[in-house]
Structure 1
């Protein structure tokens, strides 16, 4: 049976306006809103391990509300999902992403064919054997070494009852692995190559698997129609910049990562100049009708493998003179910003994550997230696509660094990120568009007026 329990020794404090602040050793604090007391009721009931059904009986909430709350506690790491038999604990699952899929009713029938997910990895963690998901970072700890035989037996399609028979507790382990998506029905493999997904999940948190797309045209998609909410950006005088910009050698010698920013925010004019210099569409070139491998593409200040330009610039604005706080998308074809979200909650989450990644030195004024449309490069480069996207992201980050230095601004690449935060802020499907890199930009300290 599957059981729910609190993860380790946790301390729960009342902390308005979050209502509950949950802390514990070697873990980040979790703040949860609890206006009706339902969170406290569930946490109280889980002082002793309970099954999903038992929890429904102990904490009667409205239909569907308890399931949503349990999933929230699971994916924030407050509660673990485990399984046991008459001999004790069999395995425990811990989640890393708020977008992780949890399906407690996914137990396979005894005569059903099952197979290990291609994104599952059986490995050693300290002195324990674990099965880890590249898809969302979920880790299932095996409490008995013999259970590794059950996992290994699922490399080829097998009848569930036969696979479970490789070790005591195998049936319960199979149920848990199915509940977290690590055991699936056999079938054609879809999705990104496992090596690409593992690369991504080691660089950031959150759901990372991008869907495989059917073959299609490589032409760069046409510009989206102008919207009434688009914000035109100031266009810099490039001729003047050629005369006044510092030499490239000086810019490269003086470039440094800046984590402390000035009290006066950068301006909309400065932001427009930065984006114009690093990301705008300079020219559109049509496909060559004499070459069936040719496709329409664009030229931009920063290069991109195959001129795919699959990276979009999303800006989270906390402080910029002339621009309201919010999340925006840069439109490189017409040098404008599209309003994506002005809800302060996802904005604060993105800015705070960058602030923590910068060692809490200074709250960022502007965060630029590079979001990859995975199908663009996959159509042309197949398994090489993700590695090329990371190289393209490195080029884009360095372009921002050099331009910011030339402009007298500060910039610092962010060493971590969360695909779930970005997906919630933008409303984008993380299986189609996923943030792969971030950089913060702001005024230099001492530039205040």
Structure 2
């Protein structure tokens, strides 16, 4: 099967010499140690890093140029590299490249050749997207990706939505042989994008209890927002020499500002507050008061200190400290308040300005605001409309500037942190808090007029006046 592919060292795989042995190091830090490396092995590594080649072609090239070359030793090294996911496999037809498998060590495993009579079907966890000038196939069940350079390969992906055999694929595509189809299926199997199917078209994942209830997007989000084999994951140091695209403090809008009153020191037993926290889905007899709202926002989201950037030190970027934790001090979350009833505050939408502890007017009541309040009421199963709906919105580029592969996951963690802060502060103040699990970013965009690609809702929290005594 290997003879069908052109082999090449993966990008970001490099060789190092520690004075005794040769180390072949992957981007994730995993390595293969070659003891007493021989000249023919050295030549093979150089050829793989340069233009690569087929297995047989590389062996022949090294043997022809080194009379002491050991073919068996070279094959063992190739097998070690392939088994550890250090090689790419490019399927060719003549001089044309059709597809290239890029393993993701350390979870990558080599599979045996496929049964030529078996039928295969696409996983529901696979997806196809554009990456540069080619299509890229990935699957959240696997540890590899497949670049597609030929439209006939993407057509085969579409066909595999239904069960297909190697014969049916090649017969449906002029110019594609059964051997090419078998080699392509072998690549797809390493992506975990296709699986053998039975007579009714079912594949292994369909009967796997651990996967039956998981949705495509949940599995995708989980696997791609945790540490995985990519050259850059986490902080993006390459961007640190440019300021964040979104400043740490959102610039003031044109709306009138309402100064919130000073907050008096309060004392409550922390563990008593923890134990008494509850989601309250009904309004109190009295509407929320503006002084209570002021205290709530003060203890949840105000800016306690502003730390400007240090010139010449890229990692000492502008950031703030607030009562809630925020990854890297980025604090990308903004609070928008849709006020239904609040003593001392006109019903409208406002944005909380955390540096000045003020409310900035956004707009008078609109149908979009009414819809958001209605969504909150329905989502929580309550009968009445909350006094205030607080919408947490993310300025996405703040997190994306610093973090790669995990920016949105971190934002959702921040939402959870802020939910808990809101719960505890509301409980200490004797108010009625309730977090929501879903909201409508499209309706929020209409309510605010914001560009949803730049800033959009990521959480919702209801707040009302002092609740009736809980039984």
> TM-score scaled to structure 1, two decimals?
0.52
Distance in 1 between the 2:284 and 2:304 partners? 32
* SS of the residue 1:446 aligns to: coil
Change (3 A) 1:337 1:157: farther
Match of 2:263 in 1: 236
- Partner of residue 340 from structure 1, selected from 362, 373, 386: 362
- Partner of residue 243 from structure 2, selected from 217, 222, 234: 217
Contact 1:318–1:365 (CA under 8 A) maintained in structure 2: yes
Change (3 A) 1:162 1:446: closer
- How far residue 195 of structure 1 moved from its aligned partner, in angstroms, is 7.2
Match of 2:280 in 1: 258
Change (3 A) 1:162 1:441: closer
Give CA deviations for 1:18-70 in whole Å, capped at 9, x if unaligned: xxxxxxxxxxxxxxxxxxxxxxxxxxxxxxxxxxxxxxxxxxxxxxxxxxxxx
Distance in 1 between the 2:155 and 2:453 partners? 31
Contact 1:260–1:444 (CA under 8 A) maintained in structure 2: no
Distance in 2 between the 1:196 and 1:220 partners? 31
Distance in 2 between the 1:434 and 1:277 partners? 24
Contact 2:279–2:433 (CA under 8 A) maintained in structure 1: yes
Distance in 2 between the 1:406 and 1:429 partners? 36
Distance in 2 between the 1:196 and 1:386 partners? 13
Give CA deviations for 1:143-188 in whole Å, capped at 9, x if unaligned: xxxxxxxxxxx97355499939976x99xxxxxxxxxxxxxxxxxx
Contact 1:235–1:276 (CA under 8 A) maintained in structure 2: no
Instruction: Establish whether residue 376 from structure 1 lines up as the match of residue 394 from structure 2.
Output: no
Distance in 1 between the 2:389 and 2:279 partners? 14
Structure 1 stretches (4+) deviating beyond 2 angstroms? 130-134, 154-167, 194-200, 218-228, 286-292, 444-447
- How far residue 278 of structure 1 moved from its aligned partner, in angstroms, is 0.8
Match of 1:423 in 2: 445
- How far residue 445 of structure 1 moved from its aligned partner, in angstroms, is 3.2
Instruction: Establish whether residue 156 from structure 1 lines up as the match of residue 148 from structure 2.
Output: yes
Distance in 1 between the 2:153 and 2:304 partners? 61
Distance in 2 between the 1:318 and 1:384 partners? 35
Contact 2:255–2:360 (CA under 8 A) maintained in structure 1: no
Match of 1:318 in 2: 340
Give CA deviations for 1:95-116 in whole Å, capped at 9, x if unaligned: xxxxxxxxxxxxxxxxxxxxxx
Distance in 2 between the 1:198 and 1:162 partners? 21
Instruction: Establish whether residue 442 from structure 1 lines up as the match of residue 448 from structure 2.
Output: no
- How far residue 284 of structure 1 moved from its aligned partner, in angstroms, is 1.1
Distance in 1 between the 2:261 and 2:299 partners? 12
- How far residue 424 of structure 1 moved from its aligned partner, in angstroms, is 1.0
Instruction: Establish whether residue 278 from structure 1 lines up as the match of residue 304 from structure 2.
Output: no
Match of 2:372 in 1: 350
- How far residue 269 of structure 1 moved from its aligned partner, in angstroms, is 1.1
Match of 2:428 in 1: 406
- How far residue 343 of structure 1 moved from its aligned partner, in angstroms, is 3.5
Contact 2:248–2:331 (CA under 8 A) maintained in structure 1: no
Structure 1: any 5+ residue segments left out of the alignment? Answer: 1-121, 125-129, 135-153, 171-193, 201-211
Match of 1:296 in 2: 318
* SS of the residue 2:460 aligns to: strand
Distance in 2 between the 1:133 and 1:352 partners? 37
Distance in 1 between the 2:449 and 2:328 partners? 28
Task: Spell out the pairing of 1:19-418 with structure 2 (5 A cutoff).
Answer: 156=148, 158-159=150-151, 163=155, 199=221, 215=239, 216-218=242-244, 220-222=247-249, 224-225=251-252, 227=254, 229-238=256-265, 241=266, 245-289=267-311, 291-418=313-440
Contact 1:316–1:347 (CA under 8 A) maintained in structure 2: yes
Structure 2: any 5+ residue segments left out of the alignment? Answer: 1-121, 130-145, 163-215, 223-235
Distance in 2 between the 1:197 and 1:428 partners? 30
* SS of the residue 2:285 aligns to: coil
- How far residue 222 of structure 1 moved from its aligned partner, in angstroms, is 4.9
Distance in 2 between the 1:198 and 1:246 partners? 43
- How far residue 446 of structure 1 moved from its aligned partner, in angstroms, is 3.2
- How far residue 331 of structure 1 moved from its aligned partner, in angstroms, is 0.6
- How far residue 384 of structure 1 moved from its aligned partner, in angstroms, is 1.4
Match of 2:455 in 1: 433
Give CA deviations for 1:187-241 in whole Å, capped at 9, x if unaligned: xxxxxxx9799649xxxxxxxxxxx9x9441484456357561111112123xx2
Q: RMSD between aligned alpha carbons?
A: 3.5
